[in-house]
Structure 1
């Protein structure tokens, strides 16, 4: 149980670690750099899903729970996206006040962090402790640039650096709650384990293809972003092989 709390807290706090950079920045970053960060994190999440969560789901079940879990993950993220108002990181919405803007940003990132937290908790419910460690590590790596981009977006909307840092850090807190939820559910109801692993994988794949890749491929940086995506995949494969 302690390892779940530690893993989920560390991966969630990585959002704040990335956002911390904003406090020491005097200028801004190029659009290409932001696209590269988004696509790199997409590669990390792709590897975590296809090399970590999906194989473990098949290990504890068969194709049916894998397919059901993935489809449920995709449907859930689709419903959340349609019914929770949000704005994308790379797009601005003019003429809104600070409170509404902060609410929209938090809602948008919460959509991303719910399946990420679940994936950490469910991974720690497996018999292979290294799977949980690797998924938590992968989510933490993804959270750091995400936290930086959220804080950067808020600063660009004339929000103070300190407030931007606090808001970006708090967006990662939901992962701790959902990680514990995923761990408890799949630990005490073992039949749910393959479904939970596949659900997390499906939700993460939805985020990769629906959110991260499109946002990194709309401003003339498609080739650079593609390279970054591939390097993100290779980066995580290296750590899967290392551990």
Structure 2
């Protein structure tokens, strides 16, 4: 229980770590943001395809894997459909701190819930290293998102410290779903392969729908592609060493 708590807290608070620069800066270069997003995408693809999916197959079969991936994908699709994940860096729709700005923060918070679930389920497996690897991959994805949220709020004339705090809290909600996923799958062992497959489907959806398009949206496709491949290889290396 201590390991899942530590892993989920570190992964969730990576959002706040990513938001730290907002305390001293107003803007982040598109290039480095895109490189970091693509690197996180590579990490998450490797974690899904070389850790989560093989683990789920070993514990069950292709039927359970398919059902879990489908459920994870549909869950994110549902959130995308009814609570759109807005592109904070490009959106020009919202110009003030009002109910609509609050909606943006709520949307990002809801999208973080399945990521916390992925961390918790991973810690519930017999593979003691899997949880740490998934927490690491989710944390890398959280960092640039935290920076974008904080920059958005600062650009809307919000106090820097308050913007940092709100950005951190959007990621902190992952701790709740992480602990919930861990406890549920720990007591109901048959749910573990479903949970792993669900996490894989959710992570792959985030990569293809969010991270890759965002990392290619500002003319840095080549740098982002190289960063993606680097992230993929780094995670494979970590899986080989600690997996």
What TM-score results when the alignment is normalised by the length of structure 1?
Answer: 0.92
Structure 1 residue 236: Cα displacement: 1.5
In structure 2, what is the equivalent of residue 206 of structure 1?
A: 205
In structure 1, what is the equivalent of residue 114 of structure 2?
A: 115
Change in CA separation of 1:41 and 1:194 when aligned onto 2, cut-off 3 Å? same
> 2: CA distance between counterparts of 1:86 and 1:63?
31
Structure 1 residue 144: Cα displacement: 2.1
In structure 1, what is the equivalent of residue 12 of structure 2?
A: 12
Aligned residues of 1:66 and 1:195 also touching (Cα < 8 A): yes
> 2: CA distance between counterparts of 1:225 and 1:156?
26
Bigger mean CA offset, 32-41 vs 177-186: 32-41
Over aligned residues, Cα RMSD in angstroms? 1.7
**4+ aligned runs moved over 4 Å, structure 1:** none
The Cα offsets for residues 129-167 of structure 1, whole Å up to 9 and x where unpaired, read as: 111111112222222232122212322333322122011
Structure 1 residue 70: Cα displacement: 0.3
1:60-139 equivalence runs, <5 A: 60-139=59-138
1:134-153 equivalence runs, <5 A: 134-153=133-152
In structure 1, what is the equivalent of residue 50 of structure 2?
A: 51
Aligned residues of 1:85 and 1:104 also touching (Cα < 8 A): no
Structure 1 residue 58: Cα displacement: 1.1
> 2: CA distance between counterparts of 1:62 and 1:232?
28
The Cα offsets for residues 27-81 of structure 1, whole Å up to 9 and x where unpaired, read as: 5222222221221111121122112211111121111110110011111111111
Aligned residues of 1:81 and 1:111 also touching (Cα < 8 A): no
> What is the aligned residue count?
242
Aligned residues of 1:77 and 1:111 also touching (Cα < 8 A): no
Change in CA separation of 1:53 and 1:153 when aligned onto 2, cut-off 3 Å? same
Change in CA separation of 1:95 and 1:144 when aligned onto 2, cut-off 3 Å? closer
Structure 1 residue 86: Cα displacement: 4.2
> 2: CA distance between counterparts of 1:158 and 1:74?
36
Aligned residues of 1:86 and 1:104 also touching (Cα < 8 A): no
In structure 1, what is the equivalent of residue 181 of structure 2?
A: 182
Structure 1 residue 173: Cα displacement: 1.4
Bigger mean CA offset, 85-94 vs 194-203: 85-94
Structure 1 residue 101: Cα displacement: 4.6
What TM-score results when the alignment is normalised by the length of structure 2?
Answer: 0.92
In structure 2, what is the equivalent of residue 225 of structure 1?
A: 224
Structure 1 residue 116: Cα displacement: 1.3
Q: Secondary structure at the match of 1:98?
A: coil
For structure 1, list consecutive stretches of 5 or more residues without a partner in the other structure.
none
For structure 2, list consecutive stretches of 5 or more residues without a partner in the other structure.
none
Structure 1 residue 183: Cα displacement: 0.8
